[in-house]
Structure 1
Amino acid sequence: MMRVYAAAAALALALAGCASAPPEHFYSLSTGLGAAAAPAPAAYYIEVPAVTVPQQVARNQLVVTLGGGRVDLLEQERWSQQPAAEVQQALSLAITGELGTVDVFRTPAPEAATVYRISTNVQRFESAPGQYALIDAVWSVRKVGDTQVLTCRSVAQESVSAGYDELVAGHRRAITRIGADISKAVRALAQGAKPAC
């Protein structure tokens, strides 16, 4: 009889522990980015292939920067997908929204269409709650089939107030700024100009 009571007490404690676990929150960089309406038929297309991010942030949990070189991994605050995929999707939406074109990555483009491939390597992705969100990216634009490549760097740092929603919103603004830099280069190339970083 004592064993039954002990087992029931252990089960009750285990269930109480599960019930008191804090909820997980999921975030996306692409929410609210891009054009509201469908783009008009474009004279050219873009491709935004897979993006690379630093290994220390390549996980679903938010990694936040604290003072003294310390970082924390937040188990309850998570990206909806891996950060590299989040950045890729958000950049694609920001650029297609800016240019009014279509991202044809992994999609057949019309024959003889002009396509600009945009490669991105995020070198720093820092999240400092209540302080800043920073994305430091090296990117290149190349017309598919051409050997000429434009390689540039964009560093976007956004001040943020307290809260993880604000931190993610800061990263969205940073993505928008980087997308604007890339869009400017693509637009110049499409017009036959020589873009500069």
Structure 2
Amino acid sequence: MARRITQLISIALATALAAGCSTAPSRFYSLSSTSTADGTPAMPAAVMVGPVTIPASVDQPEFVVQVAPNRVEVDEFNRWVSPLNDGIARAVAGDLVVLLGTPNVASSQLANFTPDYRVTIDVQRFESTKGQGVTFEAVWTVRKTASGATRSGRTVASETAQGQGFDALAAAHSQAIAKMSGDIAAAIRAEAEQKS
């Protein structure tokens, strides 16, 4: 009988320990295209977006959140669904489809796809402050494939988070990226007009 009680106590302790060790489920977020058409005429050009480089400090699956001027926290349960450089390239590509009015925008090398323009992006700041907002800063270059002519620019955008959660931070980053996409689209149009 004593042995049976000892076994039951052991099972109860093991169950309690297992319950105490369980972790919260991870949540996954993505960047999205948020640009809307601005009424400018469609531009029948093919555009390749990439490569995109990002700071090493945020080049990881987990959200990196600013908690003080010189301190960040890495949240292991809130993650990006894909590498940030890939997510940024896809969001910009989706924005450019809308802003330029062309379906011929890609963020990865495709067979039989010869772009008229190549866009490279160097993200220099990708900061998230939970419950407050985001700061996004990038230097980008548009190069016309045929002539090699280039236009470069810098986009700095700060967006307020519309909520306290990580979904609000992802949405704010998408809005900031859309501002950069607008600058890139304007540079592509200006280059097309200059060379026509």
TM-score by length of 1: 0.83
Change (3 A) 1:58 1:22: same
Unaligned segments of structure 2, at least 5 residues: none
Unaligned segments of structure 1, at least 5 residues: none
Change (3 A) 1:3 1:89: farther
Measured after TM superposition, the shift of residue 62 of structure 1 is 0.4
Give the whole-Å Cα distance in 1 for the aligned partners of 2:35 and 2:147: 28
Q: Give secondary structure in 1 for the equivalent of 2:60.
A: coil
Q: How does 1:117-156 map to 2 (within 5 A)?
A: 117-156=118-157
1:17 aligns with 2:14: no
2:174 match: 172
Change (3 A) 1:138 1:85: same
1:29 match: 31
Deviates more, 1:147-156 or 1:4-13: 4-13
Change (3 A) 1:138 1:23: same
Measured after TM superposition, the shift of residue 18 of structure 1 is 4.8
Give the whole-Å Cα distance in 2 for the aligned partners of 1:34 and 1:155: 17
Q: Give secondary structure in 1 for the equivalent of 2:117.
A: strand
Question: Alpha-carbon deviations, 1:75-121, whole Å to 9, x = none?
Answer: 111111111111111111111221112214412446xx661000001
Which of 168, 186, 189 is the aligned partner of 1:187? 189
1:115 aligns with 2:150: no
Give the whole-Å Cα distance in 1 for the aligned partners of 2:69 and 2:121: 29
Measured after TM superposition, the shift of residue 7 of structure 1 is 4.7
Measured after TM superposition, the shift of residue 58 of structure 1 is 0.4
TM-score by length of 2: 0.84
Which letter maps to 2:100? Answer: L
Question: Alpha-carbon deviations, 1:159-182, whole Å to 9, x = none?
Answer: 224222221111111011000000
Aligned residues: 187
Q: Give secondary structure in 1 for the equivalent of 2:53.
A: coil
Identity rate, percent: 32
Change (3 A) 1:71 1:50: same
Which letter maps to 1:188? Answer: A
Does the Cα contact within 8 Å between 1:43 and 1:114 map onto a contact in 2?
Answer: no
1:61 match: 62
Does the Cα contact within 8 Å between 2:48 and 2:115 map onto a contact in 1?
Answer: no
Does the Cα contact within 8 Å between 1:46 and 1:103 map onto a contact in 2?
Answer: yes
1:52 match: 53
Question: Alpha-carbon deviations, 1:36-73, whole Å to 9, x = none?
Answer: 9xxx9952110002311100100111000112311000
Give 1 or 2 for the bigger CA radius of gyration: 2
Does the Cα contact within 8 Å between 2:42 and 2:100 map onto a contact in 1?
Answer: no
Does the Cα contact within 8 Å between 2:44 and 2:101 map onto a contact in 1?
Answer: no
Give the whole-Å Cα distance in 1 for the aligned partners of 2:187 and 2:195: 9
Deviates more, 1:86-95 or 1:55-64: 86-95
2:95 match: 94
